[in-house]
Amino acid sequence: MQLPLLINMLTGALFAGGIAFELLWLLVRALPWLRFKGPFPGLVQNVAGGRARRELRAKERDLLLLAAGAICSFTSGALLWIYGAVLLTGLWMWVLSGLACLLFAAWWVFLVRDFRLWRERRHAARAHGALATALARLALQSHRVFHDVPVGDLVLDHVVMGNRGVFVIKLVARRLAKESDVVRINGRSIEFQDGHALLDTIALAERGARALADLPVKGLSHRIHALPLVAIPGWEIAPAQGQAGETFLVNEKSALLLLRASKPADYLMEADIGPLQEHLAKICTDQSF
């Protein structure tokens, strides 16, 4: 095999794969804009972990696009080998082959990055589903659960409401460490036993609770008080250290006990449960399909 033929084959194959990937990527990103109004627009509620699942599916599409680019490269390389035509020689051959090598290296970088993100988002989607399954049991105690609640520029992961009060849950999806599975609140931070710490998660949970409490709801007799929680499924919760305010940690096992955290001042009046529930049901409609 002549060296110019080999270089031309590899260069053409890599550029064909790169162009195919870019065109498919643009097409996939444009398709979500082609949404048509369907039936029952106000009755399709957000499901548990719906936002996490959409992010997971988006990352799966990116991995499929990388695979499609690789298949296109192999196919183009085979065709160029069969025809055996040397299209480029001299300086242009080496310049374009260098760019093709950079394109090949970028493909590997994107593949590794997207695979890691896919694992994280798959874990997040399953964590949301596990927590939602536990929260669904609160229906036996006359409490309703809403998922992916849009409030201003925020999206609250889970909201539990009923006569015992309103609870705003922010979920942290982190894979279990090999050496430990314990997490606790230490002051204003959340510390994992493996040394990892979350410094702003409690503040974000409290911000979400304030945003829900400030939500203008027609028919409420007074301003509600929402309790912030941080859920970390899969991790064992250790007693808190320091002053963390009213925020506390739960997992999929202790989620049923969150009603015990409310005080009589946090309870909802019977006249407020209906208007708040109707308002949350209205804003939690799924517009993704």
User: pLDDT value at position 168?
Assistant: 92
* Predicted TM-score of the model (pTM): 0.76
Domains of the chain: 3-131 (1.20.58), 142-283 (no CATH)
User: pLDDT value at position 73?
Assistant: 84
User: pLDDT value at position 260?
Assistant: 83
Provide the β-strand partners of residue 149: 156
Residues in contact with 23: Cβ distance below 8 Å, sequence separation at least 6, in sequence order: none
- From first to last of the 289 residues of the chain, give the pLDDT tens digit: 577 767 777 777 787 888 888 888 888 877 767 666 655 555 455 676 677 777 888 888 888 888 888 888 888 777 777 666 666 666 767 777 788 888 888 888 988 998 998 888 888 888 888 888 888 888 888 888 988 888 888 899 999 998 888 999 999 988 887 778 888 888 888 988 888 888 899 999 999 999 998 888 887 777 888 899 999 998 888 888 866 678 888 888 888 888 888 888 888 888 888 888 888 888 887 766 5
Which token pair is 3? 């060296």
The CA-atom distances, in angstroms, between 194 and each of 171, 174, 179, 239, 257 are 19, 12, 7, 16, 26
User: pLDDT value at position 42?
Assistant: 58
User: pLDDT value at position 121?
Assistant: 86
> Rounded CA gap, 243 and 187, in Å?
5
Cβ of 258: how many Cβ atoms within 10 Å? 22
Q: End-to-end CA distance of the chain, in Å? A: 53
The DSSP secondary-structure symbol of 218 reads T
User: pLDDT value at position 240?
Assistant: 82
User: pLDDT value at position 160?
Assistant: 92
Phi, psi values for residue 77, rounded to 5°: -60, -40
Q: How far is CA 287 from the centre of its chain?
A: 16
Q: What is the mean pLDDT of the chain?
A: 82
The CA-atom distances, in angstroms, between 146 and each of 46, 99, 191, 247 are 8, 50, 28, 19
